[in-house]
Structure 1
Amino acid sequence: MLHTLLSRVTRGNGFYIGDIFHAAARRDATTQITLDRPPQYAPDRGTHFTVGQLADQIDELAARLWAVGVRPTERVALYKSDDFDIALLACAAARIGAVPALLSPALDGAVAHELLVRLEKPWLLTDGDTLAGKLRGVPLADDVRQVLLSAGTAPPDLVAETADRTVEPIALAEYADAPVPEPVFLHPRQPSLITHSSGTTGIPKLAVHCPEAGWHRLVPQRVVSWPIRGKETAALCMTFVHSRFYQGLAMFLSHGNPMVIAVDPHPDKIGPLFVRTRPGYIETHPNTYIDWEELDHAPGAPLSSVRVFGATFDAMHPRTIQRMLAASRHRRPVFVQFYGQSEIGPMAGRWYTRRTAHKADGRCVGLPLPGFVSLRVVDDSGRRLGPGRSGHLEVRSRTRILTYLGEDERFRSELRDGWWRVGDTGYLDRRGLLHLMDREVDRIDAVDSSLAVEDLLMGRLEELREVVIVADPRGEPVPVVATRGEAPLDESRWRRATVDLPPMSAFRQLRFDDLPRTSTRKIQRSELARRLWEEHPPPGGMRAVPDTTKGA
């Protein structure tokens, strides 16, 4: 009944990233936004802006794109150096009805090229550094319509050629005085944004979003954020190529909250920024929160002003939740956690206080969002399982993407009578709370839940900065660890911490920066396993590590 009512009330609404800043400016153009570094395309403009000023900059960039020849429904691939101007350029492309396709700066050139091919000759919007670096040697002329430069210059020896044409990069700065075109709003069910999955298990998938699904994702998040509307400075430090960033922008700009937007998550940089700006809400990737644990006693108490901590993407380690809440000087700080996926958006959520954080179960990600998401647990044959029984998670919602670009058959293979196979395993308890076990592709027979074991180890060994359990080629669990300061992990402490855990092989210690990661800082487990066994084959010989590609 609730699903039907919401469907009738919300039909025809859309979430348009090209209108985020303009809609906020219509309400109050003076709302302040602070950046940690100037936009790359206009470094002379500084780091302090009003919403109205950023809306004007988006108009300026949209005018340049229109003058170059970009038109509604055409795809514009953004693959450039990591900077907030990724968001400004994406909003500008969307403002004129084009479809921005956001490719992470963390992707190497070969993977980015494969995605460009899948985008079927898009406009490529990049910068001089990326052309001279990751894209050097990539055959762009065959696979893009035109190369557009947001900043910098193309290397003098870089001219992309094919048998029948030459592609010379065009600098958007040459069109600085172009007239501003009228905004274009696509149909609510029309493709309007393309992002990619995290690529934890292979080449990322290109997720095609539409305005209607984006709007349904945003509504419950606006409801949750209502208590801090306009009251707190909201700080976001997350990848600019994930749809969640634009939802976060819209959520707080619609409430009139001042904002802080950071590119660099390093504690040495983010700490002083938070001391200067004193945010009341912060949100970043779960793995970035682990690094921010050291801010609990940093000079100036950078987390002391935080009233609400927000996290999406993945489940959080309980230790990290406890450290964040302890660092706040508010009387009743809250840690809000959403569990979500690129294809669906937020699916379940819960919150913790200081009184409940010590009992936090890292595997419990909360209640499925009522009215927006229906969730069930099924066995291998698709039969629904009762409370407490672990199986495959499936979701029915209006927040689902349209398809995987160029892989529609693959997308539809995960649908069963309108239910989307999430790719995670877990169970619902008798209270309806969702508990995650593992990714389907990461299951290890000898361990009920690798993620649960990792939570326990992070709680027992504070020196751990990361722990990941992967399977060796014989299917045996192998813990891979990284420590704070890269100090050697004490083997006696490890033995005491694992005495009551399932038997595992001896741990492998790597440098933190050598762990392969996605744009949202997830560990690429299959890639990590592949590297380990290529460099250090286990006794008894090697067999191929499975090349799995399910998961986001």
Structure 2
Amino acid sequence: MLNRLLPERAFYLGQLFENAAARFGSTPVTLDQPLATFPERGRDLTYAALADVVDDLAARLWAAGVRPAERIAVHKGANFDIALIACAAARIGAVPVTLSPALSGQIIDELLRRLDQPWLVTDADKIDGDLADLNLESLTRRVLVAGTREHPTGLLLAGLDDAPRRDPVRMHPSQPALITHTSGTTGVSKLMVHTAQTIFHRLLPQQIIAWPVRRRERVALCMSFVHSRFFHSLGVFLNYGNPLDVLVDPDPDVIGPIFTRTRPGLVETHPNNFIQWEELADAPGAPLASVRYYSTTFDAIHPRTIQRLLGASRRRNPLMVQLYGQSETGPISGWWYTPNSARETDGRCVGFPLPGFIKVRAVGEDGAPVRRGEAGHLEVRSRGRVLTYLGEDGRYRSQLNGSWWRLGDMGYLNRLGMLFLIDRDIDQIDSIDSNLELEDVLMSSLDELLEVVIVKGPDGTPVPIVCTRKDAPLDQDRWRKAVQDMPPMSDPLHVPFADLPRTSTWKVQRVQLTRMLEEGSLRTVDSRTAAR
């Protein structure tokens, strides 16, 4: 069956929609926002319509001068057309570079320098906003403008209506096919080079896992369009012919009415968005009632969130499927939770390494493997590992231990081979065994918490940074009761949820948060002024 679905040991983004349309052309795709460059196409499309959009965009990129093997950075406002432009670039043999809309102009400046004068697809709002202080003429080969508003800095793609369609260009499967970036939780993002082969090796286990939902369930995706995970999810469900909802805005007030109308059977988003969606469990119209499968990756998910989401489903035997992985390697381990098992789950458990695809070990400071149950630095072997960090190959190789890749996470494997996370290496605090474990306990104890992050204060004391739903007041008595058996910590800093520095996948940037704490630039909810 898989040989029919994935006949080549390579995943070509440029023909993803074309191949899906050939088999399931009339399958519906619903958007929450129209395509920025082609708003006239509306929000209700099909596989065939999207294949035509990709083909059209590819023709326009070629007409603008883009050629095979050239890098083309895509950095524009959040919209599904980010992924479609990337697929269009791949269709003519170029190498798409997807850069998050959330990245600052300063970081974009650095990444464009590493890309060595790529083409840049952006929009007028970005040029006038985040990119206003950049010398785009010297940083890029040429600027192409997405959307419908012209800008004198570049060529408007929407204006190239007469561009002739072209046959797809296939590069060798071992050549660069996609460049994405790391989350940037520890500083400036690194550029990761993927090939059609490495992407395939990530896709295959996910295709197997998703077999039960083939064509049977409507799938809602609300994820970062610049992350490789989004392209894998597209690959899985387009191959299976599932109807899709592709969503930009994760706000529960936006998501609830959409789910009430489309009634998806599988939903996938970032773990921190699922925390926000807990409030949909009791929302009017029961927007989560139709969900049979919740899917998440990027990071471990809090047990409280799993329980609430599964409890909101009215489907028989709902499941939460969790994959743990890293941008550099793809999925590493996986597990699933039922309403019963969710009540007893350990939030630090991220399941079994994917059999036949992944090997994981924990090693000591000397690089030698430690015994089962003993904590160490986690390392992985994966055929889906990226080729390098563009412009930082030495940094990439510094994380290799022979054929093993150092993940940057501390954890252990129990006697059964299940993988448990403790903390990121860089986030460890001497007086606490696991920040993440304490955060899980606090989230489960205090329903009003939307986020809690424990970081090291300027004097080395652990400082809990907390956010509540709707920034409601924190009950100090309930807090003191929740932390009474925990290691000593400072009083909590109650911060507006919108102020937390986040990555494109909604992870909290702990290093930046620690820096803001040291600088005294964190606002508190009560004062709305800097906390010092």
Name the TM-score class by shorter chain. over 0.9
1:43: how far off? 1.1
Residue 290 of structure 1 is matched in structure 2 by: 275
Unaligned runs of 5+ residues in structure 2 are 523-532
Q: Are the counterparts in 1 of residues 145 and 151 from structure 2 also a CA contact under 8 Å? A: no
For residues 536 and 138 of structure 1, the distance between their equivalents in structure 2, rounded to whole angstroms, comes to 26
Equivalent residue of 2:176, what SS?
Answer: coil
Q: Deviations over 1:337-379 (max 9, x none)?
A: 0001000000000000011010111100000011111111000
Q: Say whether the 8 Å CA contact 2:148–2:158 is kept in structure 1.
A: no
Q: What CA distance in whole angstroms lies between the structure 1 residues aligned with 2:413 and 2:501?
A: 32
Q: Distance in 1 between matches of 2:366 and 2:133?
A: 47
Alpha-carbon shift at residue 474 of structure 1 (Å): 2.8
1:22 to 3, 13, 18: 18
Question: What residue is the counterpart of 2:385 in the other structure?
Answer: 400
Match of 1:80 among 69, 76, 100: 76
Match of 1:261 in 2: 246
- 8 Å contact from structure 2 (residues 38, 158) kept in 1: no
Instruction: Name the SS for the 1:321 alignment partner.
Output: helix
Q: Distance in 1 between matches of 2:171 and 2:521?
A: 52
Map 1:125-524; keep pairs closer than 5 Å.
Answer: 125-155=121-151, 168-524=153-509
2:98 aligned with 1:102: yes
Kindly state the Cα deviation for residue 536 of structure 1 after the two structures are TM-superposed: 6.8
Partner SS, residue 207 of structure 2: helix
C-alpha separation in 2, matches of 1:12 and 1:24:
15
The aligned amino acid for 2:460 is: G
Alignment-mate amino acid for residue 140 of structure 1: L
1:543 corresponds to which residue?
Answer: none
Q: What corresponds to 2:114 in structure 1? A: 118
Deviations 1:376-425, CA, capped at 9 Å, x for gaps: 10001011011110000000110100000000010011111110000000
Q: CA deviation at 1:426?
A: 0.1
What is the root-mean-square deviation of aligned Cα atoms in Å?
1.4
> Contact 1:339–1:365 (CA<8 Å) still a contact in 2?
yes
Secondary structure of the corresponding residue to residue 451 of structure 2: strand
Contact kept in structure 2, 1:12 and 1:212, CA below 8 Å: no
Equivalent residues of 1:198, 1:520 under 8 A apart? yes
**Taking structure 1 as reference, are residues 425 and 266 closer, same or farther at Cα in structure 2, changes over 3 Å only?**
same
Amino acid at match of 2:17: F
Cα deviation 1:133-172 (Å, max 9, x = unaligned):
111121111110000001243556xxxxxxxxxxx41111
What is the SS of the residue equivalent to 1:180? coil
CA deviation after TM superposition for structure 1 residue 473, in Å: 2.4
Instruction: Confirm whether residue 65 of structure 1 aligns to residue 61 of structure 2.
Output: yes
**Aligned partner of 1:43: which letter?**
P
Q: CA deviation at 1:30?
A: 0.9
- Contact kept in structure 2, 1:233 and 1:257, CA below 8 Å: yes
Give 3-state SS (helix, strand or coil) of 1:479's partner: strand
2:517 match: secondary structure = helix
Post-superposition Cα deviations, 1:87-131, rounded to whole Å, max 9, x if no partner, equal 111110011010010010011111111111111100010111111
Matched AA of 1:294: E
Instruction: Please report the TM-score for the alignment, with normalisation by the length of structure 2.
Output: 0.96
8 Å contact 1:123–1:148 — kept in the other structure?
yes
How do residues 25-44 of structure 1 correspond to structure 2 at under 5 angstroms? 25-44=21-40
In the aligned structure 2, how far is the partner of 1:85 from the partner of 1:485?
31
| Residue identity matched to 1:212 | Q
Q: Partners of 1:35 and 1:510 in 2: how far apart?
A: 33
1:38-84 deviations in whole A, cap 9, x for unaligned?
10111111101110111011100000000111001100000100001
Q: What residue ranges of structure 1 are gaps of 5+ in the alignment?
A: 1-5, 157-167, 538-552
CA 1:536/1:513 → structure 2, altered by over 3 Å: closer, same or farther? Answer: closer
The CA deviation at 1:475 is 2.2
Q: What are the superposed Cα offsets for residues 10-44 of structure 1, whole Å, 9 maximum, x if unpaired?
A: 99611111111111111121111111111011111
Structure 1 position 492, deviation (Å):
1.0
SS at match of 1:403: coil
Contact 1:129 1:152 (C-alpha < 8 Å) held by counterparts:
no
| Matched position secondary structure for 1:250 | helix
Equivalent AA in structure 2 for residue 469 of structure 1: I
Alpha-carbon distance between aligned partners in 1 of 2:498 and 2:297, rounded to the nearest angstrom: 23
CA contact (8 A) 1:12 1:188 kept: no
- Residue 247 of structure 2 aligns with an amino acid whose one-letter code is A
User: Which letter does structure 2 place at the counterpart of 1:468?
Assistant: V
Q: Distance in 2 between matches of 1:252 and 1:110?
A: 36
Select between 333-342 and 18-27 the one with higher mean Cα deviation.
18-27
Give the length in aligned residue pairs.
518
